[in-house]
Structure 1
């Protein structure tokens, strides 16, 4: 299958920009809020509306592609063959509902399991990071460089709150080695912080649509993503992901032994 990564990147920028405008314009409107797996796992009518918008765009311009969306409006995905768009219409729905900030909308694109391009829009900050291994990475149209190597003591790490409070997989011990922890409740916002060089890592229990966009972008910037076993993200199930510059994984792995 012949792909044009720059064209896909251009399309992602256009779609994410439209979606961001739609979400911001809707903030004064009444939301329909429901729960999914529990009281802290929320979904709104806006999540479904934005995913439906993305699905329609992908079906129109990439009819050969499959879609793995958080709200289930795409396809059932059991393998990574072919072209797949991973869609998270509103990442950080709790923040969207409660804070009206610190949430993102994002799309990751993969071919046979390999990253092609990703895009993450911090909706309220209007900060768009987009790119991939073949296209380079842009922040609001400005190119970003590969992340330099740092000692773990010199950087901040984004982390899942439960993993930090309960020291799951020695995450609390890892944070003590760093400059400190940051918790936002949005994988997209956290990945963006790592991509922009404001944090050196991010650790959380993530679904495929949570990690796909960030990993696609980060793979162009000397930023790694591992499972606890040291493998690549499967992109097929929920799993703990350790993303960051190499020193983050190196120190995490030492603490597991």
Structure 2
């Protein structure tokens, strides 16, 4: 795919995101229908479902032969990386959305034959969009992203999964102690934006493809490391514990995980 076609797709997706954000903001103060999925902390609302249906409809009109992997089930059963695969998280951080009406994101990614082409993470309430891919670079609200410093763990803040720290999975307590401090934002998208902007040196959590699909593309394009928590390659259809980090922090954390 040539760069002009990628730019055309990029412009189109940004239009979907503007419209999607407007849809969410119009409904955010209405009465929500909230249901649980796998547990009482795994929520879905009517707005999650409506927003996913909106984005899926747009993708099907624009790229009818593509397959779509959506968190809320409006897409397809995707079991291979062949062809065009779009990954959609209509509201990332649903608990934050329900309880705070803040700190949540919309994420879209396009992979072609398993290779990341374009990724988008929109901080809805902050109206802040990280976008791009290997052919374009990474943009922060339309401006080229300033490359984050390659900061080691001991000199930076780290975003961690609260439950993983409580259970000390993969020596998370030690990882937190070795950093300057731990942050728990409750939204993969918000955490990944913070890593891209250099506010965090790493983010570690158990993630599904819609949680990291866009972030993997953006972070790798920006020169950051994206692997499983023990340093293995991360496939786009994986559901596993994921680490996105500066190269130095990645090395430091792998040393702790391996102890």
Instruction: With the length of structure 2 as denominator, give the TM-score of the two structures.
Output: 0.95
Q: How does 1:157-196 map to 2 (within 5 A)?
A: 157-196=158-197
Match of 1:202 in 2: 203
| Structure 2 match to 1:69 | 70
Shift of 1:138: 1.1
Shift of 1:38: 0.9
Give the aligned partner of residue 253 of structure 1.
254
Unpaired segments of 5 or more residues in structure 1?
none
1:7-62, CA deviations, whole angstroms, 9 ceiling, x for partnerless residues?
A: 22212211111111111111121111111111111001100101001111100111
In the alignment, what sits opposite 1:85?
86
Quick check: 1:159–1:183 contact (8 Å CA) kept in 2? yes
1:139-158 equivalence runs, <5 A: 139-158=140-159
Q: Does structure 2 retain, via aligned residues, the 8 Å contact 1:120–1:213?
A: yes
Cα offset for 1:149?
Answer: 1.2
Mapped to 1, the partners of 2:79 and 2:230 lie a distance apart of 21
TM norm structure 1: 0.96
Runs of 4+ in 1 over 6 A off after TM superposition: none
Taking the aligned partners of 2:210 and 2:182, their CA distance within structure 1 comes to 23
Structure 1 residues 3-12 or 120-129, which shifts more? 3-12
> Alpha-carbon deviations, 1:126-147, whole Å to 9, x = none?
1111011111111111111332
SS in 1 for 2:129: strand
Cα deviation, residue 108, structure 1: 1.1
Give me the CA root mean square deviation: 1.3
SS in 2 for 1:163: helix
Is the CA contact (8 Å cut-off) linking 2:153 and 2:253 kept in structure 1? no
- In structure 2, distance between residues paired with 1:237 and 1:131: 22
* Alpha-carbon separation, structure 2, partners of 1:25 and 1:85: 26
| Matched residue, 1:100 | 101
